[in-house]
Structure 1
Amino acid sequence: MSSMEYGNLAYLGLLGAVLVFWVFVQNRESLGKKLQQMAAWGLIFLGTVAAIGLWDDIRQTVRPQQSVFAEEGKIELPRAPDGHYYVTLDINGAPTFFVVDTGATGMVLTEEDAEKAGLRTRDLSYLSEAMTANGLVRTASVTLDRVSIGPFTDRDVRAFVNSGEMQQSLLGMSYLQRFDRLEISGGKLVLER
């Protein structure tokens, strides 16, 4: 810490001490009750400071983030609390959130994600069909100009846009097979090229 930060800390400490002294002088009759209230506020303050200090660890536990190791050609996706693996890909310049679905044949975009990626869904021809857990849905075949994750960029990637209701886009085997190695171990999905 710099000398200015030490000065600010000393000033705040002195100000706090004066305020505490004033509270005690003003409320001499109910000193026990005031001590209880001050202890409660002190615990609230310490809890807030601890939560702020540990926020990155808490966020990583609640919603784990993907890790990219560009020099090793590796991407690690931690298992989320719901047991799934999630990944964010850059589709034509738009960050798009996917659930990894090894049971899906292709990459399937929601209409909303397709629009964000620059595709005009109202102009698409939904000529094909796909069987999903929710039944039969109509899909439109599209070609994505650019799909990127970390150091890896693929061009002219075939995907489908789902006309039905989907909570999020699915990353299926047609894209996952572009990686040399796909391994699930220790609560992580590892993708390597």
Structure 2
Amino acid sequence: MDMTTDQMMRGVYLLVLLVLVGSALLARRVPWRGAMGMVLAWVAIFAGVLILFSFRNELGFVANRVRNEVAGKPDQKVSGQSLRIAPGADGHYWVEAQINGTTARFLIDSGATVTALSEETAMAAGLNIDRLAPPMMMNTANGTITAQRSSIAMLTLGPISASDLPVAVSASFGGVNVIGMNLLSRLSSWRVENGEMILTP
């Protein structure tokens, strides 16, 4: 439907509404002043509904953005073969991924050598943690910590899939999961463009 036709339909709807309201008022013999007030009230209600209907897509997008921010859900979308990720409220890039089918939230950190999971996330995903192997020593913003080695059979981020991905697991990560360079290096490209991070498998 083009813009002219859309405007004509709105005009028809408004005319029909006015005729219906006017007919109802005449049938009830409502005083002129009261009738005008009721007509104006109905016109305002109709205009409000019309505005909401006309901008339903834009309002839906805003509502989803607000809901994602409140819920802490990353703002990501698939565009062609790429995954586009908007920065979070903290300025970092967060993404929602599936670990062997289990959903988890990750911080994308190109400064991290290896992908890292909190112990809670690893346990929820059913990963096997090699507790007999010597622990890994990792430098983090909170200092040096120890981590255990594990592996993800399949990690999926939108159109991106990585199999047999080595990961570090530690309770010292504070519940934060990190996607590091051992995953980013498997992609054909990753970059930041117009504020968005774009990952291409």
Pairwise same-fold verdict (TM > 0.5): yes
1:142-177 CA distance string (max 9 Å, x none): 111122345543322111223136454211112111
1:32-56 CA distance string (max 9 Å, x none): 4334433442343234324533345
**Residue in structure 1 matching 2:24, options 22, 26, 45:** 22
Match of 1:142 in 2: 150
Contact 1:102 1:173 in 2 (8 A): yes
Equivalent runs, 1:34-183 vs 2, <5 Å: 34-58=38-62, 64-70=75-81, 75-80=82-87, 82=89, 83-119=91-127, 127-164=135-172, 166=174, 168-183=176-191
Q: Distance in 1 between matches of 2:172 and 2:46?
A: 53
Deviation at residue 20 of structure 1 after TM alignment: 6.3
**More deviation, 20-29/40-49:** 20-29
Match of 1:192 in 2: 200
- Report the AA paired with residue 179 of structure 2: L
Change (3 A) 1:39 1:68: closer
Query: What is the TM-score normalised by the length of structure 1?
Result: 0.66
Q: Distance in 2 between matches of 1:23 and 1:165?
A: 69
**More deviation, 164-173/125-134:** 125-134
Query: What is the TM-score normalised by the length of structure 2?
Result: 0.64
* Runs (5+) with no aligned partner, structure 1: 2-12
Contact 2:93 2:107 in 1 (8 A): yes
Change (3 A) 1:95 1:55: farther
Contact 1:76 1:188 in 2 (8 A): no
- Report the AA paired with residue 48 of structure 2: I
CA RMSD of aligned residues (A): 3.8
- SS of alignment partner, residue 169 of structure 2: strand
- Report the AA paired with residue 92 of structure 1: N
Match of 2:7 in 1: none
Percent identity between the aligned chains?
23
How many residue pairs end up in the alignment?
A: 178
